[in-house]
Structure 1
Amino acid sequence: MKTEQRLAELGIELPPVPQPAGNYVHAVQTGNLLFLAGKGPFNPDGSVPTGKVGRDYTTEEAYQHARSVGLTLIAVMKDVLGDLDRVKRVVKVLGMVNAVPEFGEQPKVINGCSDLFVEVFGERGRHARSAVGMGSLPNGITVEIEAIVEVE
């Protein structure tokens, strides 16, 4: 099945690709690997959630933040590759959660992105992953996620 058709079936609209927040590019391809820069979350109204997971946000709310990051990462893939069917496999995801020190549910948060990748790409979306807690993230965002994708 075409990935674009799958997005439509799921009722998923990709967000616009944001401008880089620093001196970097959204993605770099070397050989058949596409390295995606870390992206942060957006709320449905376009605002950016900031604060600590485990204090200002629940695991469930942060799961939605991670899902929004996944949507932006897919939008970057489409922008760079032109066709999401060129994604052969999501290889690796690194998810970082801005959380209180005692928070331990980082994997449940980052599942928001991982679940989306599997919904959209099927088996091609299954990946190796790290989900870690951070003392802070840029501008106080709740979640930052980067990915490595194998492309055709």
Structure 2
Amino acid sequence: MANYEQRLAAMGLVLPQPLKLPSNMVLPFPWVNVRGNRAFVSGHGPQNTDGTPAGPFGAVGENISIEEAKASARKVALSMLGSLKRELGSLDRITGWCRVFGMVNCAPRFANPPAVINGFTELIIEVFGPEVGSHSRSAIGVAGLPLNFPVEIEAEVIVST
């Protein structure tokens, strides 16, 4: 049986603490909503290990490079895995990644959101392997995201009950 948390540790990766929001920001929804054998994961942004929002902040193609945004997407994967671990108790309950929806804060005419969201997909497949980690995916450009994040991603996973 795979131990995804050990795999993360072997990769030198640490799951962040819960997101520390600005005091004036209230989010009236759960980060992870489990329904039967599905977990619907709300949109996550990049975090530092202490739970604070992680920069750089802004629009890709304006003040953020594709490489910086791709690194932010990897941080989003860790943020999401942290939320899943807190909700499920163990990442080993994840038996399949179904779909991922990635949004990239883009400068006008930036046309490569998929390259940014690849940072998320590559980390998920590296941790879970292609059989469990492969997922359908959309990657779109948007005019802005909460906290001026460069990337926000949501997902749906299958979990053992």
The TM-score range, normalised by the shorter chain, is: over 0.9
Letter in structure 2 aligned against 1:97: V
* Deviation per residue, 1:107-135 (Å, 9 max, x gap): 01001111110011112111000000001
Report the TM-score when normalising by structure 2. 0.88
* Deviation per residue, 1:36-85 (Å, 9 max, x gap): 01011236795443211001110000000111000000111111110111
The correspondence for 2:95, drawn from 83, 88, 97, is 88
Alignment of 1:113-132 (within 5 A): 113-123=120-130, 124-132=132-140
**Which aligned runs of 4 or more in structure 1 are off by greater than 2 angstroms?**
42-49
Letter in structure 1 aligned against 2:113: Q
Give 1:136 shift.
1.0
1:44–1:79: structure 2 CA closer, same or farther, 3 Å change rule? closer
Report the TM-score when normalising by structure 1. 0.93
The correspondence for 2:108, drawn from 88, 101, 107, is 101
- State the SS of the aligned residue for 1:85: helix
- State the SS of the aligned residue for 1:55: coil
CA distance, structure 2, for counterparts of residue 40 and residue 122 of structure 1: 23
Unaligned runs of 5+ in 2: none
> In angstroms, what is the RMSD of aligned CA positions?
1.7
* Deviation per residue, 1:6-35 (Å, 9 max, x gap): 112111111112157511111111111100
Task: Indicate the residue corresponding to 1:37 in structure 2.
Answer: 42
CA distance, structure 2, for counterparts of residue 19 and residue 148 of structure 1: 23
Maintained 8 Å contact 1:118/1:125: yes
Letter in structure 2 aligned against 1:17: P
1:128–1:39: structure 2 CA closer, same or farther, 3 Å change rule? same
Task: Indicate the residue corresponding to 1:26 in structure 2.
Answer: 31
Aligned residues: 152
Alignment of 1:59-98 (within 5 A): 59-98=66-105
Aligned-residue sequence identity (percent) comes to: 43
Maintained 8 Å contact 1:43/1:49: no
